[in-house]
Structure 1
Amino acid sequence: MKTRKLGRHDVGAIGFGAMSLGGMFGATDEATSLSALDAAWEAGITHFDTANIYGMGISETMIGTWLKTRGHSPVIATKAGIVDGTPRRIDNSEPYLRSELEASLKRLGRDHVDLFYIHRREADRPLEEVIGTLSRLIEEGKIGGYGLSEIAPATLRRAHAIHPCMAVQNEYSLWTRQPELGVIQACAELGTTFVAFSPLARGMLGETALAPPTDGFRGRNPRFTEPAFSRNTAKIESFRAFCRERGWTTSATALAWTLQKGDHILPIPGTRSAAHLRHWLAADEISFTAEDQARIDQLLPAGFAEGDRYGDHQLAGVERYC
C-alpha cells in the first residue's frame, strides 16, 4: 500500500476506523474483530483510529488485545471529550481529558498514544485552555500530537496558532462534502493531516445495498430513515453500476475519490469483517480519467444525499460554519 503523512509518521494511505469493533453497527466478537485487524495489518494499514466511547471501551480493549497478542507497533489514535448520556454533553476540562486518556492507555496496553483527539469541542471552554492541556500531555510524553474533530476552519486556525495541530478528523465522503468549504483547504495550508471518517457513508457505499438500518446509531439518522433512505439508496445504486462497468468495487472507488481530493487526506473506513475490508484495499491503485470523474460528478453530485447527516440528538459539539 502507498503511504501518506500523519504528523511525523509515514502510514498506509488508508487507515482503519475502529468504531465498528465496539458494536456500534451490530454485534461483534473478539475472533471476528481480531481477524479484521489482522487483515488490515497484512494489507499495509498501519494507522488505527478508535475512541473511548466506541462501545464504551470495547473497541480500545479489542485493539489492546490485538497489540498484546500480535506484537505490532502501528500508529494509534484515540479520542475523548464526549460524555455519553441523555442528553449527550461535552467535557474538554483537563481533569476529564487526563482521566479518560489514562483509561484509554490502560485498555490499549500502552504508555502513550501517537495521536489524541478532542472528540468534540466544548463551545464554552476557552480554546486556549484546551490546547494548553493537550500541549502539556505532549510535553509529558502521553501523546505524540493532538487532533480536533468535527470543527470549523476558524477553530483549526486558532488552535494551530497556539500549538501545531497534527490532524483534523471530520466526516467526508461522496455524500458528505462540507469539508470542501474550508477545512480541507485550511489543513493543506497549515500542514495538518485531514482524516476523513465515514468515507464509505456508514456502509451506504458498500458492495450491496443496505437493508433499512435498525441499529441505534443509524436508525435515528435522517439519511437512514424513510423516505430519504430509499431515495439515497436508489441514487447510490447507479454509482454501484458504474463501478461494476469499470471493474472496480464500489467501496474502493468511493475511497479512491476521497484519496484523490488531496495528498494530505487520509480516509479511515471501518468494518468488523476481514472480507469487507478486502473489498476496498485496491483504492490507492485506482486512477480516474477526466471522463470517470465527470461521470461520478453526474451520478453523485455534491449535495445529492437527502436528509441531515446527524439527528438532533447527535449534534452536540459539531461545529457548523456554512
Structure 2
Amino acid sequence: MQQRMIGGRSVAALGYGAMSFGGMYGATDEATSLACLDAMLEAGITHVDVANIYGLGLCETILGTWIASRKPDIVLATKAGIVNGTPRRADNSDAYLRAELEGSLKRLGVERVDLFYIHRREQDRPLDEVIGTLQRLEQEGKIGGYGFSEIAPETLRQAHAIHPCTAVQNEYSLWTRAPELGLLQECARLGVALVAFSPLARGMLGNRALDHAQVQDGFRGRNPRFTEPNFARNTARIDAFRAFCAARGWSTPATALAWVIGAGDHVIPIPGTRRAERLHEWLPLPDLSAADRAEIERVLPVGFAAGARYGEHQTLSVESYC
C-alpha cells in the first residue's frame, strides 16, 4: 500500500475511522469490533482515528482493549472539544481539553496519542489561547501533534502560523468535495495532512445499495442526503458508479477510496466499518488512470449529491468558507 506522512510518521495511505463500534450505524459487540481491528491491521492499515464522544467513550474503550492485547505499531489519533447536551456546544478551554484528553488516555490505555484534534472550534475563544494549550500538551508529552476538524483554510493558516499543525480532518469523498475549494490546496501548501472522514459517503459508496429503511434511525436518518426524495436521487446516481466499477472488476468502495487517495499525496482517507467482511471490500485499491478519473467525473460530477451533507442541528461550529 502507498505510504503517506502525518506528523513526521509514515502511515499507510488508507487509515481507519473507529466510530462504528459505538452503535452509530447499527448494533455491534466487542468481539466483532476486535475482529474488525485485527482485519484492519492484517490489511496493513496503520493510522487509527477515534474521538471521546464516539459511543460516549465506548469506541475508545474497545480500542484500548485491542491495543492492550495486540500491542500494535500504529499512529493513534483522538479528538475532544464537543460537549454533549441539548444543544451540543463546543468547549476549547484548557481545563476541558485537558480533562477530556486524560479520560481518552485512560480509556485507550496509553500515556500519549500521536495526534489530538480539536473536534469543533469554539468560535468565541481566541485561537492563540487554544494553540497555547495544544503546545503545552505537546511539551508535556501527552500528544505528538495537534489537528482541527471542520475548519476553514483561513483558520488553518492562522493556527499553523502560531504553531505548526499536523492534520486537518474534513469530510471528503466523491459526494462531498467542498475541500477542493481551498482546504485541499492550503493543506498541501503548508505540508499538513488532510484526513478525509466519511470517504465512502456514510455507506452509500458500498458494493450494495442501501435500503432506505436501513438509514432511518440514528445520524443518517436526520441527514438531508438520506431523506426522500434526495435518497432515491443519490442512490440512482451512485448505482451508475457501481456499474462502472463492476464492469472493470473493481470493488465500489475500493474505487471510491482510490479516488480520494489520488486527490493528493497529503490526503489520507479514514473509512470506518464495524465488520471485517466490509473492511475486506476496501482492498485492493485499483490504480486509477487519468481516463478512469475522467470517467468517474462524468458519472459522478462534482456537486451531484442531492441535499446538504448536514442538517442545521448537525452544524455545530462547522466553519464554512465558500
Q: TM-score, normalised by structure 2?
A: 0.98
1:187-266, aligned counterparts within 5 Å?
A: 187-212=187-212, 213-266=215-268
Q: 2:182 corresponds to which residue? A: 182
Provide the secondary structure at the position in 2 that maps to 1:156: helix
1:146-161 correspondence to structure 2 within 5 Å: 146-161=146-161
Pairwise CA distance, 1:215: 2.6
Contact 1:67 1:73 in 2 (8 A): no
Offset, 1:239: 0.3
Deviation at 1:70, TM superposition (A): 1.1
Instruction: Spell out, residue by residue over 1:113-160, the C-alpha distance to the aligned partner (whole angstroms, 9 max, x if none).
Output: 000000010111100100000000000000000000000000000000
Letter of the structure 1 residue corresponding to residue 147 of structure 2: G
Give the structure 2 partner of residue 316 of structure 1. 316
How far off its partner does 1:318 sit?
0.2
Distance of 1:18 and 1:118 partners within structure 2: 17
Deviations 1:80-121 (CA, angstroms, capped at 9, x unpaired): 001112111100001000000000000000001000000010
The answer to whether the 8 A contact 1:194-1:265 is kept is yes
Write the letter of the residue equivalent to 2:284: A
RMSD between aligned alpha carbons?
0.7
Deviations 1:205-229 (A, max 9, x none): 0010111202311110000001100
Pair 1:142 & 2:142 matched: yes
How do 1:23-102 and structure 2 match up within 5 A?
A: 23-102=23-102
Q: Which amino acid aligns with 1:53?
A: I
User: How many angstroms apart in 2 are the aligned matches of 1:143 and 1:214?
Assistant: 38
Corresponding letter in the other structure for 2:262: Q
1:272 and 2:277 correspond: no
Q: Which of 276, 281, 284 is the matching residue for 1:282?
A: 284
Q: Secondary structure at the match of 1:210?
A: coil
Q: Which amino acid aligns with 1:229?
A: F
Cα shift at 1:3: 1.3
Distance 2:116 2:288 in 1: 34
CA distance in 1, matches of 2:39, 2:164: 33
| SS of corresponding position for 1:128 | helix
Corresponding residue for 1:112?
Answer: 112
Q: Which runs of 5+ in 2 are unaligned?
A: none
Of residues 209-218 and 308-317 in structure 1, the stretch that sits farther from structure 2 once superposed is 209-218
List per-residue Cα deviations over 1:284-306 (Å, max 9, x = no partner). Answer: xx222232122111110000000
Counterpart CA distance in 1 for 2:195 and 2:143 is 18
Residues 298-317 of structure 1: CA deviation (Å, up to 9, x unaligned): 11000000000001111011
8 Å contact from structure 1 (residues 81, 91) kept in 2: yes
**In structure 1, distance between residues paired with 2:3 and 2:291:** 27
Shift of 1:2: 2.3
Q: Matched residue pairs, number?
A: 320
Look up the SS of the partner of 1:282 in the other structure: coil
Tell me by how many angstroms 1:69 deviates: 1.1
Match of 1:267, SS?
Answer: strand
CA–CA separation in structure 1 for the residues paired with 2:305 and 2:314: 18
Aligned partners of 2:294 and 2:2: how far apart in 1?
25
**Percentage identity across aligned positions?**
68
The AA in structure 2 aligned to 1:133 is T
Report Cα offsets for 1:158-198 as digits up to 9, x if no partner: 00000000000000000000000001100101010010000
What residue in structure 2 maps to residue 294 of structure 1?
Answer: 294
Partner of 1:128: 128
- Distance in 1, Cα, partners of 2:111 & 2:134: 16
Aligned equivalents of 2:209, 2:181: Cα separation in 1: 29
Amino acid corresponding to residue 31 of structure 1 in structure 2? A
| Displaced runs of 4 or more, over 6 A | none
